């Protein structure tokens, strides 16, 4: 802003004395270009993992039509939730140790409003139910039966779950893993979540996060993804962050809130994500397979990502970019 105002005063100050109408027109054109460059970073949408590329397309269809970041992050999440080839989000996601696919989601907007659902089964779009929790109820989170009753009251259809592919895979898996109460194995293949951050053309930031959670988790387990402050956090004065990976480790450091607070204290998005990852590393003696990653967006449209291990990536879409970038990381698998 400062540079732009300075430039404007400089041009107009000079114009009174020496510039012709033609010069003035040229000067105005320069000013318009300058403002376009400054706004080049918005709108913007960022998503976790490679499935974020498709999610970003959904979000972008809202942002490019001057829609709100809230609508954009919901639409992006819905793309992944409906992708039946996706095994970590939506009803085609991975089941728990009893064969149930239980879904968690949350959403947060630039006003600091939020809604979440946890442990719901058979709904195509948990993210929409989370938004309804935010908009229609005095609560921040509904889980299990209560969330499902609420969803049905709103007219959301309950689908058959698990779908046949998931059922088939589960049957194979349970034969080899008959113990129901064991510490589930952690590795990067049984994790993934879609987390989305978007800033619209008005500079408003919103975020969403939706997942089937840790594959073969114990029944009743909630991860970080539906928990505001852990899986997602937005403060429009600063920016937003979203997490993926081993939810228990993310919850224990209030991950996404930590990232946003680090940005508030002056860190860049990548430095802030790195600080959160470092806390996870310091607090977990055994890091075998413990993958966690964060992405962050600040209010100026700068973004960054950091993960414990390599292999995490961030999908970016803005007016002049559509790409998948490898996150910075602490160590190699």
Q: What amino acid positions are annotated as catalytic residues?
A: 193
Six-digit token string for 67: 């829609």
Which residue number, 246 or 267, has a Cβ lying nearer to ligand ASP?
A: 246
Q: List phi, psi (to 5°) of 168.
A: -60, -50
DSSP letter for 204, please: -
**Min CB(1)–ligand ASP separation in Å:** 37
Q: List phi, psi (to 5°) of 133.
A: -60, -45
What does the alpha-carbon distance between residue 282 and residue 230 come to, in Å, rounded to a whole number?
17
Measured in whole angstroms, the distance separating CA 36 from the mean position of its chain's CA atoms is: 27
What residue spans of 64-212 are helical by DSSP H?
69-81, 126-136, 144-153, 164-176
Six-digit token string for 94: 């991975």
β partners of residue 259: none
Interface with ligand ASP (CB under 6 A): 191-193, 211, 213-214, 223-225, 244-247
Six-digit token string for 285: 């003696």
Q: Using an 8 Å Cβ cutoff, are 46 and 196 in contact?
A: yes
**Min CB(37)–ligand ASP separation in Å:** 36
């Amino acid at each position: 802003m400062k540079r732009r105002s300075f430039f404007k005063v400089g041009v107009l100050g000079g114009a009174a004395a020496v510039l012709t109408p033609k010069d003035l027109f040229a000067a105005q054109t320069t000013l318009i270009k300058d403002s376009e460059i400054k706004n080049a970073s918005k709108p913007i949408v960022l998503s976790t993992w490679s499935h974020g590329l498709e999610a970003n397309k959904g979000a972008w269809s809202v942002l490019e039509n001057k829609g709100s970041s809230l609508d954009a992050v919901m639409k992006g999440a819905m793309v992944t939730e409906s992708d039946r080839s996706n095994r970590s989000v939506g009803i085609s996601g991975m089941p728990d140790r009893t064969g149930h696919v239980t879904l968690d989601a949350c959403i947060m907007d630039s006003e600091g409003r939020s809604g979440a659902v946890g442990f719901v089964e058979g709904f195509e779009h948990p993210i929409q139910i989370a938004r309804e929790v935010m908009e229609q109820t005095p609560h921040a989170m509904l889980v299990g039966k209560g969330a499902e009753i609420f969803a049905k009251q709103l007219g959301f259809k309950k689908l058959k779950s698990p779908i046949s592919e998931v059922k088939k895979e589960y049957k194979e898996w349970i034969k080899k893993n008959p113990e129901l109460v064991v510490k589930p194995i952690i590795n990067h293949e049984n994790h993934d979540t879609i987390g989305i951050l978007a800033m619209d053309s008005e500079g408003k930031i919103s975020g969403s996060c939706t997942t089937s959670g840790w594959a073969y988790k114990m029944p009743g387990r909630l991860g970080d993804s539906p928990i505001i402050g852990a899986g997602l956090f937005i403060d429009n004065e600063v920016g937003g962050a979203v997490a993926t990976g081993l939810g228990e480790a993310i919850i224990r450091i209030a991950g996404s809130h930590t990232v946003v607070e680090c940005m508030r204290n002056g860190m860049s998005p990548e430095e802030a994500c790195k600080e959160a990852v470092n806390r996870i590393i310091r607090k977990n003696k055994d890091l075998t397979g413990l993958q966690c990653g964060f992405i962050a967006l600040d209010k100026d449209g700068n973004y960054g990502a950091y993960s414990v291990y390599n292999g995490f990536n961030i999908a970016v879409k803005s007016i002049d970019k559509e790409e998948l970038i490898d996150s910075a990381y602490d160590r190699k698998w």
